[in-house]
Structure 1
Amino acid sequence: MVARELIVKELKQVKLQLILTSLIIGFFAPIGFWVDYMNYLRYEPSSSPGFVYSFDSSPYVFGFVLLVVTLAVTQMGFEKSRGTIDFTLGLPASRGSIFFTKWLIGVATILLSWVVSFLMMWILLTFTQSTAVHFLEFNFFLLPTMFMFYTLCMASGAITGTPFAQGLVVLSVSVLPILTVLLIMVNVAAFLHVSIGLSEIIWLYTSQVSPASYLTFDYLKTSDTVYVFPLLVIVISYLVGHISFVKHPNERNGYFFVWKWLNLPVQALVMLIGILGFSWFGYASGDESLLGYVVGALIGASTGFSLGYFLIYKKKKA
C-alpha cells in the first residue's frame, strides 16, 4: 500500500510535467512528419518518385533531452527548493524506494511516449508509402540518449541542493570530457610551440564518452559501441543517485552539494579549468608569449576561485 500511495503522490506532484513530456515525445515527431508530407503533396509534381523523410538532421534529440532534463529537475531540484521534499522524506517509505519510484515514473513516461511515437511514425510511413532514411537507427539512438540524460540529471539532483545546481552539474558533466581534451591539447601545443590537430580517432573516442555529443543524431557514429556508453552512464548515475539519496541529507538546505566533501575537489577542478582556459587565451592573445600565459593563468585561477566560491560555498535562500 505504501508503494502504491507513493506512486500516486509522485504522479500528482509532477502531473503537468509528465503530461507535457508524454505529449511532446509521443506526438511531436509524427506531427512533424505529417506536416512535411502534406507540404510534399502540395508542392511536388506528380512525377516525383515519392516522399523521402530523413532523420539524419533531426532536431528532435536536443529538444527531447531538454524535456527529460526538465522533468528530472522538477522531480528533484524544484521539490527541494519548494520544501516538499521534507514531506516526501517523512512518508513511511525508505529513501531508496522514494528515489526508485521517482526514477521509475520518469523512465516509464519516456519509454511509453517513445513507443507511441515509434508506432505512429511506422504507421504513417506505411500508410503514406514513404521512404524513411535511418528511421530505426535514429529511434534506437534516441531512447538510450533520453534515458542517459534523465538518469544523469536525477543523480545530479540527489547530490545537489537547488535546481540551478542540478542543471549546472548535468551541463558540466556533459561537456567535461570534450573540454578536458581540448584544453590539454591547446596547452601542450602552447608549451611545445607546435600546432596539434585533434586526430579522428581521438575525437571519436572523446565524443563517445561525452554526453554532450549525443545531443545530435549522427548515423555515422551509431555503431554497436555507441550504445555501450549511455548504458554505462545510466547504471553509474543511478547507483550514485540512489546511494546519495539514501546516505546523505536531501532536506532543503540551499547548498550547492549535499555531499560536503565534494566542495573542495569541485572547487579545485573549476580553478584548474579556469587556469588552463585563460592561460591558453592569454598565450594566444599575447603574441604567444610566456608572460601572456602566466597572466592568463592568474586570471583563470582567480576567476575559477570566485566562481567556485559563490556557486558552491554560498548558501542560497530557501
Structure 2
Amino acid sequence: MVDRGLLYREWKQNQVVILLSIVFLVLANPLTVYHTYSQYQGCLAHSDPQYCTFTLDYDINSMIEINWVIGIILAVCLIGFERSKGTMDFLLSLPYKRSQIFQTKFWLGTFVIIISQLVGFLLAWLLILFLKPEQVNFFEHDSVGVMIISFMFYSLVVAAGTLTGNVFAQLLTAFATAVLPYLIIVLPFSNIEIITGIRIWELFPNIEYYFDFENKLMNFTPIGYVDSSWVFESKYLLIIPAVMGILFYFIGYISFEKHHNERNGYFFLWKTLDRPIQILVIVLGVLGFGIVGYSAGESIVGYMIGMVIGGVVGFLISYFSIYKKVRR
C-alpha cells in the first residue's frame, strides 16, 4: 500500500514542513497545560491565593484548536505544490501505480497529524498528573476531537487537490466544499423569505426548533467545526467529521486513480466538472448578491439589481478561475 521508496522521496522533499508540523502538533497540547499553570503562578505572585485557581478549560483557551491548520498545510505541500510546480508529472511517470503514490502521500500526512497529536496528548496527560490542577474540563474530548477534525480537513484538502490543477484551485475548492452544505440550504431559504415575505423560522413550532435545525445543519458542514463550540455537544457528534474524513479519503483516492493529468494548470483536471461548477457559482452569486442588494434598501429593485450584479460577478469569477490555465 505505502511504498518505501515513495515514502523516502516524500520525506526528503517535504522534510522541513513535516518536522515543523510534528513539533507544533506535539507541543501544542502540553504548552496549553503549561501556559495555564504559568498564569496560575502569576496570579499567586500578585494576588490573594483565594482568588487564584488552577483550572484547565479546554473549551476556552486551548492552543490545540488550530491544529487543523497543519492538516491543510500538509495537504497543500503533498498535493497542491506538486501540481503547481509540475513535479507531479515526473512523479506519475515513475514506475509506480497511481494508488501507491496516493496512499503514500495520504497516509504520510495522516501519520504526522494523528501520531504527533497522540504524543502531545500523552505529554499533556503526564503534565496534568504532575501539576495536579484543581479541575480539568474537556481534556480528552477536545484532544480526541481535534485529531478527528484535523484529519477531516486534511482529507478534504487532499481530495480537492486530486480534482484540481494548482494550489489556488485546491484551496478554493476545499473552502467551497466546507461551506457548501450550509449555502445550498440557507441561500435558497433566504431568497424565498424575500420573495414571499414569509419568515422561515415562522414555519417551525417555535424559535428553538429553528435554531436547533440550524445547529444540526452546521454539524454537517465542515467549516462549522472550526468553532470549538462542538466540544459542548455529545461525544457522538464526532462521528460526523470522522465519517466525512473517510468519505473525502475515498473521493481523493478514486479521483487520483481515475483522473489523468493532461489538464495540468487548469482549475479542474476533469473537464466534465467545468460547466456544472460554473453554473453553481453563478447561481450562488445571484442568490447571495440578491440578498445583499435587498438588505441595502429592503426593496425588490435592490434585490433585482443585486441578482444581476451577482450573476455577472459569478460568471467572471468562474470563467477566469475555471477556464484560464495557470502558467508555471
1:173 aligns with 2:184: no
Q: So what's the TM-score if we normalise by structure 2?
A: 0.91
How far, CA to CA, are the matches of 2:192 and 2:307 in structure 1?
Answer: 14
The structure 2 residue matched to 1:125, chosen from 123, 128, 149, is 128
1:280 aligns with 2:295: no
The 1:84–1:132 alpha-carbon spacing in structure 2 relative to 1, beyond 3 Å, is same
The 1:274–1:61 alpha-carbon spacing in structure 2 relative to 1, beyond 3 Å, is farther
The 1:252–1:190 alpha-carbon spacing in structure 2 relative to 1, beyond 3 Å, is closer
Residue 309 of structure 1, CA deviation: 0.1
Residue 135 of structure 1, CA deviation: 0.5
1:42 aligns with 2:42: yes
Question: Would you say the 8 A contact 2:70–2:150 is kept in 1?
Answer: no
Question: Would you say the 8 A contact 1:83–1:252 is kept in 2?
Answer: no
Residue 149 of structure 1, CA deviation: 0.5
Q: Deviations over 1:193-243 (max 9, x none)?
A: 133348122112211100011112225553244222212212221111111
How far, CA to CA, are the matches of 2:275 and 2:230 in structure 1?
Answer: 40
Residue 104 of structure 1, CA deviation: 0.5
Residue aligning to 1:229 = 240
Counterpart of 1:33, as a letter, is V
Question: Would you say the 8 A contact 1:21–1:67 is kept in 2?
Answer: yes
Equivalent residue runs for 1:289-304 within 5 Å: 289=300, 291-304=301-314
Residue aligning to 1:312 = 322
Equivalent residue runs for 1:200-239 within 5 Å: 200-218=211-229, 221-239=232-250
How far, CA to CA, are the matches of 1:2 and 1:38 in structure 2?
Answer: 43
Residue aligning to 1:182 = 186
Residue aligning to 1:115 = 118
Equivalent residue runs for 1:120-199 within 5 Å: 120-130=123-133, 131-197=135-201, 199=210
Question: For structure 2, which runs of at least 5 residues remain unmatched after alignment?
Answer: 202-206
The structure 1 residue matched to 2:83, chosen from 80, 84, 95, is 80
Residue 105 of structure 1, CA deviation: 0.3
The structure 2 residue matched to 1:264, chosen from 272, 275, 289, is 275
Q: So what's the TM-score if we normalise by structure 1?
A: 0.93
Q: Give the CA RMSD over aligned residues.
A: 2.0
Q: Deviations over 1:256-280 (max 9, x none)?
A: 0001111111101100100101112
The 1:264–1:60 alpha-carbon spacing in structure 2 relative to 1, beyond 3 Å, is farther
Residue 41 of structure 1, CA deviation: 1.2
Equivalent residue runs for 1:20-99 within 5 Å: 20-44=20-44, 45-47=48-50, 50-58=53-61, 60=63, 63-99=66-102
How far, CA to CA, are the matches of 1:158 and 1:221 in structure 2?
Answer: 34
How far, CA to CA, are the matches of 1:7 and 1:37 in structure 2?
Answer: 40
Residue 181 of structure 1, CA deviation: 2.7
Question: Would you say the 8 A contact 2:117–2:147 is kept in 1?
Answer: yes
Residue aligning to 2:17 = 17
How far, CA to CA, are the matches of 1:149 and 1:2 in structure 2?
Answer: 21
Question: Would you say the 8 A contact 1:255–1:315 is kept in 2?
Answer: yes
Residue aligning to 1:100 = 103
The 1:192–1:60 alpha-carbon spacing in structure 2 relative to 1, beyond 3 Å, is farther
How many pairs were matched up? 317
Counterpart of 1:153, as a letter, is V
Does the residue aligned with 1:53 lie in a helix, a strand or coil? strand
Question: Would you say the 8 A contact 1:30–1:124 is kept in 2?
Answer: yes
The 1:218–1:98 alpha-carbon spacing in structure 2 relative to 1, beyond 3 Å, is same
Residue aligning to 2:255 = 244
Residue 2 of structure 1, CA deviation: 8.9
Residue 112 of structure 1, CA deviation: 1.2
Does the residue aligned with 1:26 lie in a helix, a strand or coil? helix
How far, CA to CA, are the matches of 1:306 and 1:106 in structure 2?
Answer: 35
Counterpart of 2:77, as a letter, is T
Residue 297 of structure 1, CA deviation: 1.3
Residue 281 of structure 1, CA deviation: 1.9
Does the residue aligned with 1:76 lie in a helix, a strand or coil? helix
